[in-house]
Amino acid sequence: MLKRRGYLQEVRFSDRLPNAIRLGILVLLVVGIVLHGYRLGYKLYWHDEVYTTMRSSGYSGQEVSEVLFSDRTFTPSEVLQLQRIKPDSTPIDTLRSLATEDPQHPPLYFLMDRAWMQIFGSSIITNRSLAVLFGLIALPAMYY
């Protein structure tokens, strides 16, 4: 805030930027959006993403261990099944899995991710797109 003739006048940071810098910020924002979403389905599926998908789908750690650590060879489709919403599961199963095995994680994101998967499907791109959407919302929010 600036003091002018006895009055306080609010000056926003964006009001003090020259147009060239504003354009540069906008260009960087667009480049960041494009690079963040480029080939979203081809990037390595990270441990945290697998964990989030498993929890959002309603699987418990024990159920996943029974499938993955059963001393047998399994097909990729069997592993991919763990990345889809568990048949006959509800959001309560997601909450129960979090509460009993990982209570330090806040459940809202997992419930939102589950709803996102129910609406748009369970592909890798879909599983990542909610986080990308939140990231895109955060970028302009930081500017203001």
The b-or-e profile of 94-120 (16+ CB within 10 A means b, else e) is bbebbeeeeeeeebeebeebbebbeee
Query: Residue 3's pLDDT is what?
Result: 52
In the block, tokens 């889809």 appear at 84
The pLDDT-based confidence of 91 (bands split at 50, 70, 90) is very high
Percent of the chain with pLDDT over 70: 88
Note the pTM of the prediction, 2 decimals.
0.74
Q: Which is more confidently placed, 30 or 108?
A: 108
Query: Residue 7's pLDDT is what?
Result: 57
* Burial tier of 6 (Cβ tally within 10 Å: 0-12, 13-18, 19+): exposed
pLDDT tens-digit map of 109-122: 999 999 999 999 98
| C-alpha to C-alpha distance for 21 and 27, rounded to whole angstroms | 10
In the chain, what are the helix, strand and coil shares in percent, each to the nearest 5? 65, 5, 30
| C-alpha to C-alpha distance for 38 and 50, rounded to whole angstroms | 20
Q: What would the two tokens of residue 55 be?
A: 């929890």
The pLDDT-based confidence of 89 (bands split at 50, 70, 90) is very high
List all residues 6 or more positions away from 140 whose beta carbon is below 8 Å from its beta carbon: 29
